[in-house]
A and B are shown apart, each in its own frame.
Chain A
């Protein structure tokens, strides 16, 4: 009885036992593959065989000399920055709207959350239909309203296709950002806002000089997740354009998939995916800083 009791009361032992499965899973199936992804990028491994040969920097030399890769890298940056700029503007505005009380607010909130709930791949296929070259409802509406006389081949033109991709990414991420900003708004002490009103600050001054500065950490969290979700997303581009026309709209994930999985060149696929790391490292460092900052305030 006695030794049993001691183990049953040893918090460190119990804690370790309960934590172990999670830690082991994460190390074996995230940590190790992550290291392996980087290792693979220096190898000539292919999907067909188990051969694993050291290729040094050859994969990197190959992709850095490849205009399709450089274009994909540029597209990834454009899409990520473009969509997140849109997201910040839309989310801050939408949060202001949802904070007010008005009739039909519950319905508005429900609809606003929809894009975040729907699976990426299904949203992307719906947008593919919306941007269809023959049946695009956007084109119909623009023409019927007399705003356009020509024709927009949304997914057939490299520049327009990037615009379409940015719209879809912003559309699917801004609801998430809105809810985060809303949570931040509700945590601003009411006294500060009231003090600003007493001092005669109008809506815009209150927004830009009082609330937005206080909201910065929260908006930053929303943007950081948004960057991760956009930069690393494969579904939207894969389904909307498949990287076409003529490989002009690839982003890093779709190109990595094309080379690494479809083309069976694991080494090159891994090397392309490794270029996602700078995006992720920036995000991780920013988040750590943010967490440290807010911890000081919260404790």
Chain B
């Protein structure tokens, strides 16, 4: 009886969480005449393939839309933002965890709190800044602004990560005659690799997900990122190409889902800030 309740609850959650993805999947490969049957016709079951699946929407998406271009734009922004974030946040996190002493904790908390200031509060002043710098409608605007989200969170992540790494190795190196600087340059990088990996992954997922700033700064279709282009520019006029739209959503979700599944626990440690002892 208890088992039955457990499985029923698990099934319920899986259906609620997964149903939109099933819907993306089935829409992506359905023929149009199977897709566009009004829901008032109860004899036509929309949950299954009534006609054989088709690749027509996928071909449309990759062949006749700007989707490949958006993927490329997204990758350009990802690489640039990852480089900036790692270069800025990793040393800062190390400094807060190892060098700043008593102040480290408070400064780190202060930097983390800026992560709570949302894009929807900042997009108005940023739109002014971006046009002053002449960056409107360019990927440069996104590369400049996205680190405002990634740097606070990643500085915090690296700091938290380093506090769980024992000091011993670095101390031993200093006893062996390394200067503090030599430790930072030669010993610390090896210790910090898993932390850097988390930073890279977080930055990657964030850039893929960001919508507000992209919507504010980018207006040309060929400059868009995936998360902006798909909902905004794949819809031409009043004609929704639902098959292609859902295929785009599906193909973007898959890599993110895999990455999240692997890294979720690390992110959560960052969010719970010691409210949970790991």
Q: Which A residues form the contact surface with B (CB < 8 A)?
A: 5, 7-12, 14-16, 18-19, 21-23, 25-26, 29-31, 33-34, 36-37, 40, 45, 47, 50, 90, 93-94, 96-97, 100, 102, 104-105, 107-127, 129-130, 134-137, 139-141, 143-144, 151, 171, 174-175, 179-180, 183-184, 187, 217-218, 220-221, 225, 228, 232-235, 238-239, 252-253, 256-257, 260-261, 266, 269-270, 273-274, 276-277, 280, 283-284, 287-288, 290-291, 294-295, 298
Contacts and interface: CB of A to CB of B under 8 A. Distances in A.
Contacts of A118: 21, 249, 252-253, 256-257
Interface centre among B46, B109, B131, B269 (most CB of A within 10 A): B46
A42 to B, nearest CB: 13
Given A16-B95, A171-B17, 14 more contacts: A10-B180, A11-B99, A22-B151, A112-B17, A113-B257, A115-B20, A117-B260, A119-B227, A123-B20, A134-B38, A144-B45, A179-B265, A183-B268, A269-B124
Contacts of A29: 144-145, 147-148
Nearest to B104: A15
A114 B253 contact: yes
Contact of B88 (A22, A107, A112, A295): A22
Contact of A261 (B36, B96, B127): B127
A116 B260 contact: yes
Interface residues of B, number: 108
A15 B99 contact: yes
B78 interface: no
A129 B242 contact: yes
10 contacts: A26-B114, A30-B114, A34-B122, A37-B122, A117-B253, A118-B256, A119-B208, A135-B46, A291-B273, A295-B274
B264 A179 contact: yes
Nearest to A281: B116
